[in-house]
């Protein structure tokens, strides 16, 4: 790679952390990446992974600006600072306003992103990261890449809740989905790797991690997804319920005295794999426990798989034809156990597990895991940072615009 090639800085700013990666334009692998964490606390630190080594240092000031300043110092020390040509920011929710990645034009736009009411834990933190980056790189284009943008092609039939319409009209209550950058990348890679027709293909993408969602993608566009107004709807997750009868929550509230905040906390943080297993939110830990004979762990994973299969079936109904099911995310990419249990339940859709191939695919590999070819099941490792870097490079005019 030419040492003068421009660089893209990708920032994922959370409330107490800031992840980053530095990509040469058009490259698949970052030159460096890292994480500043415990921001806002006295022991805030920054870890930078570069040249196969990880360097961790304390931060001052112990906030987002401190993290971006430390990043800037690192870029200068490496002689890369002048090469940084644009900064890309991950944004969890763009509401209905942002339907694709776009250049951050001014502070009013950062304010609008920061006050999006549907991601109160994430969007304000993105705005803080954006302001710190504008301060550090005032001359550079800043680009926002929205997790919800890919789902904005859903029609009202898919995104409206059957609530009184005034709540959509007045409050914007509808399904926005999440993980869209991952679904977009993985569906595109699935089409490319399998040689499907981009204008005539039906794919269901299962992003299975600590947070999990599944999306139906018709001709490269999202037509339905499992997450809703917030990332609580849909599949069983590490600590989130996924779908649950509201009546069950109301009953629990009446019986226990839990208020709305208490219910929200329980449904987001104490449920899912953790709540049901009473053991762990971590799929690997539960798999090991299940294999060692822990019945509750096995039953929990069965619930996870059953819900996933129900969704794959439902999402297939949003497509004229199912060509492929793609697995991604920490569980989808690594757990042969979950993929096998899932595919064995999906014979009604024509899917047929290839046990041997399935057992060999983990740790960042992609590959086909079914004997069936129509539809086919495939593992595709996700790479959200790379998508953000590419969108940023395109919007900054460093790569040709996509047709």
Q: Is 26 in the site for ligand ADP (CB under 6 A)?
A: no
Residue numbers 360-389 binding ligand ADP by CB under 6 A: 362
Q: Is 284 one of the annotated binding-site residues?
A: yes
Q: Is 90 one of the annotated binding-site residues?
A: yes
Pairing of strands 141-146, 84-91: parallel
Q: Can you say how many angstroms the Cα of residue 345 is from the centroid of all Cα atoms in its chain? A: 25
Q: Is 321 in the site for ligand ADP (CB under 6 A)?
A: no
Q: How far is the CB of 56 from ligand ADP (least distance, A)?
A: 20
| Contact (CB, 8 A) for 249 and 261 | no
Q: Is 283 one of the annotated binding-site residues?
A: yes
Residue 239: how many other CB atoms lie within 10 Å: 17
Choice among 69, 147, 323, 383 that is catalytic: 147
Q: Is 12 one of the annotated binding-site residues?
A: yes
| Contact (CB, 8 A) for 192 and 208 | no
For ligand ADP, the closer of residues 268 and 372 by Cβ is 268
For ligand ADP, the closer of residues 81 and 362 by Cβ is 362
Q: Is 331 one of the annotated binding-site residues?
A: yes
What separation in angstroms does the CA of 220 have from each of 49, 184, 261, 284, 315?
34, 8, 38, 32, 15
Residue showing the smallest CB distance to ligand ADP in the complex: 330
- Helices 107-114 and 123-136, interaxial angle, to 10°? 160
Options 12-20, 74-82, 161-169, 328-336: segment touching ligand ADP (CB under 6 A): 328-336
For ligand ADP, the closer of residues 330 and 367 by Cβ is 330
Residue numbers 234-253 binding ligand ADP by CB under 6 A: 238
Q: Is 283 in the site for ligand ADP (CB under 6 A)?
A: yes
Q: Is 334 one of the annotated binding-site residues?
A: yes
Q: Which of 353, 387, 385, 389 is nearest to 371 (CA)?
A: 353
49 is catalytic: no
Q: Is 349 one of the annotated binding-site residues?
A: no
- CA–CA distance, 139 with 391 (Å, rounded to integer): 19
Contacts 24+ apart (CB under 8 A), 38-42: 38/62, 39/15, 39/63, 39/64, 39/66, 39/67, 40/16, 41/16
What separation in angstroms does the CA of 185 have from each of 7, 131, 192, 205?
21, 27, 10, 10
Residue numbers 157-216 binding ligand ADP by CB under 6 A: 209-211
Pairing of strands 18-24, 32-37: antiparallel
For ligand ADP, the closer of residues 114 and 211 by Cβ is 211
For ligand ADP, the closer of residues 201 and 334 by Cβ is 334
- CA–CA distance, 72 with 362 (Å, rounded to integer): 35
Q: Is 329 in the site for ligand ADP (CB under 6 A)?
A: yes
Q: Is 331 in the site for ligand ADP (CB under 6 A)?
A: yes
Of 335, 342, 370, 392, which one interacts with ligand ADP (CB under 6 A)? Answer: 335
Options 68-76, 105-113, 279-287, 294-302: segment touching ligand ADP (CB under 6 A): 279-287
- CA–CA distance, 195 with 232 (Å, rounded to integer): 34
For ligand ADP, the closer of residues 323 and 333 by Cβ is 333
Which stretches of the chain bind ligand ADP, using CB under 6 A? 209-211, 238, 282-284, 287, 329-331, 334-335, 362
Residues designated catalytic: 147
| Binding-site annotation: residue ranges for Mg(2+) | 12, 384
| Binding-site annotation: residue ranges | 12, 19, 90, 207-211, 282-284, 330-334, 384
């Amino acid at each position: 790679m030419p040492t003068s090639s421009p660089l893209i800085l990708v920032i994922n700013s959370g409330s107490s952390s800031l992840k980053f990666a530095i990509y040469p334009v058009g490259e698949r692998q970052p030159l460096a990446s890292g994480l500043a964490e415990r921001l806002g606390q006295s022991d805030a630190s920054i870890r930078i992974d570069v040249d196969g080594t990880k360097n961790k240092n304390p931060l001052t000031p112990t906030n987002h600006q401190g993290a971006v300043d430390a990043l800037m110092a690192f870029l200068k020390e490496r002689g890369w600072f002048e090469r940084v040509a644009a900064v890309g920011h991950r944004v969890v929710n763009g509401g209905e306003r942002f339907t694709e990645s776009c250049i951050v034009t001014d502070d009013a736009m950062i304010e609008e992103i920061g006050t999006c009411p549907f991601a109160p834990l994430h969007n304000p933190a993105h705005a803080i990261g954006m302001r710190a980056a504008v301060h550090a790189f005032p001359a550079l284009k800043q680009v926002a890449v929205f997790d919800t943008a890919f789902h904005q092609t859903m029609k009202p039939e898919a995104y409206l809740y059957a609530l009184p319409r005034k709540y959509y009209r007045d409050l914007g209550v509808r399904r926005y989905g999440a993980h869209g950058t991952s679904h977009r990348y993985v569906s595109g890679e699935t089409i490319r790797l399998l040689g499907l027709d981009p204008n005539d293909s039906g794919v269901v993408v299962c992003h299975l991690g600590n947070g999990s969602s599944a999306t139906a993608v018709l001709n490269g566009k999202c037509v339905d997804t499992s997450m809703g107004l917030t990332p609580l709807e849909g599949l069983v997750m590490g600590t989130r319920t996924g779908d649950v009868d509201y009546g069950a929550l109301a009953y629990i509230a009446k019986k226990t005295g839990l208020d709305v905040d208490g219910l929200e906390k329980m449904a987001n943080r104490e449920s899912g794999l953790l709540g049901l297993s009473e053991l762990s939110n971590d799929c690997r830990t539960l798999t090991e426990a299940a294999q060692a004979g822990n019945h509750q762990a096995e039953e929990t994973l069965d619930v996870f798989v059953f819900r996933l299969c129900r969704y794959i079936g439902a999402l297939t109904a949003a497509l004229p034809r199912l060509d492929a099911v793609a697995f991604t995310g920490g569980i989808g990419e690594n757990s042969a156990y979950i993929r096998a249990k899932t595919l064995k339940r999906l014979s009604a859709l024509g899917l047929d597990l290839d046990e041997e191939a399935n057992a060999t695919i983990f740790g960042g590999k992609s590959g086909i895991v079914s004997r069936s070819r129509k539809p086919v099941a495939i593992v595709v490792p996700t790479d959200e940072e790379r998508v953000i870097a590419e969108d940023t490079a395109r919007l900054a005019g460093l790569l040709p615009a996509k047709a």
